[in-house]
Amino acid sequence: MANRYWCSECTFRTPWLAGPEGRRRQIEHYARKHPGTQPGGQVETRRRCAGGDRGRRHLCAVVVLALLVTAVALALVIMATGHRR
Ligand SMILES: [Zn+2]
């Protein structure tokens, strides 16, 4: 699961980050860009394909590709058995 924090003062948002890292980045952003403002804005949460890092995104792509290959293989098997009948 990953969170993305949106700034309520400007268009800034953190990358998808797991755990307290996103909150930390948001607080850092407020300290730098909006000194004296209480950190606010909304938090976006997602469960699948979490993380802004390339490794996890790559893993997601591999899973999707594997599913596609399985679907195509299944379709081919169904077509092949259909011809024999
Ligand atoms: Zn901001």
Interval between CA 30 and ligand 1 midpoint (Å): 6
Express each pLDDT in 44-54 by its tens digit. 998 765 455 56
Express each pLDDT in 24-43 by its tens digit. 999 999 999 999 999 999 99
Interval between CA 74 and ligand 1 midpoint (Å): 50
3-class SS of residue 45? strand
Do 7 and 23 form a contact (C-beta atoms < 8 A)?
A: no
Interval between CA 57 and ligand 1 midpoint (Å): 27
Interval between CA 68 and ligand 1 midpoint (Å): 41
Answering whether pTM is above 0.85, one says no
Q: How far apart are CA 34 and CA 3, in angstroms?
A: 21
